[in-house]
Amino acid sequence: MGFKVAKDSDLDHFAERLLDAGVHVDVIPAGEEPGVGRKIRFNTPTGHMFDLFAEMELSETGPAVRNPDVWIAEPRGMRATRFDHCALNGVDISASAKIFVEALDFSVTEELVDEASGQRLGIFLSCSNKAHDVAFLGYPEDGRIHHTSFCLESWHDVGHAADIISRYDISLDIGPTRHGITRGQTIYFFDPSGNRNETFSGGYFYYPDNPRRMWQAENAGKAIFYYEKALNDRFMTVNT
């Protein structure tokens, strides 16, 4: 997963902070990947690889800037407008989240906590006004991905995605429904490789001075699926 920084010199700034935090950093030269400038790369304790970059060429269908229409190419299929976030599974999610907070200036917007043990079961982090840009979910094995999420414009589009899923017999996980955490409107499905994907709409706007939202483990069902108020085993155990 990659995050864009404001300018190339920020890469040196964040590389120094990552190294100070004890995180190994690799430098990827400009042009090693087509259209991408210099990058730095690091791994988290949960076994996930992240890149930071400052420069990337726009595609031919990138955002228009002169008298721009709403879209360049007519939206097709589920009408996804952009990548939104991903949720990653691993053991020491607190250590991974700590890197993003202390070295990269992310904020923890929400978390799911077992108050009896103090264990953090889910940590949701933002570097923007979104409810989350990445989430870490506790799991007994590192290096796993729970889901990849794509943004839709409206709850109506989530319903349209459900129509597409049914029309083409795509493997449905759950939804349409809504999250308590992030408040996003959602539907989950599996691609032919077995990866879980999400189309996501809404969610609250986050500001850095907002208080952190906390959900208790006994309310995990409502936190994850606000309408159903219950978790299914597949959602908790299946990842890739």
Q: Which residues are catalytic?
A: 85, 132, 147, 179, 188, 198
* Closest residue by Cα to residue 52 from 74, 62, 37: 37
| Residue keyed to tokens 């597409």 | 164
In Å, how far are 3, 86, 92, 134, 227 from 48, measured between CA atoms? Answer: 14, 12, 12, 12, 31
β-pairing, 82-90 vs 49-53, is: unpaired
Within a 10 A sphere around the Cβ of 97, how many other Cβ atoms? 23
Residue 91 in tokens: 């053991």
139 DSSP β-pair partners: none
* Closest residue by Cα to residue 193 from 144, 240, 127: 240
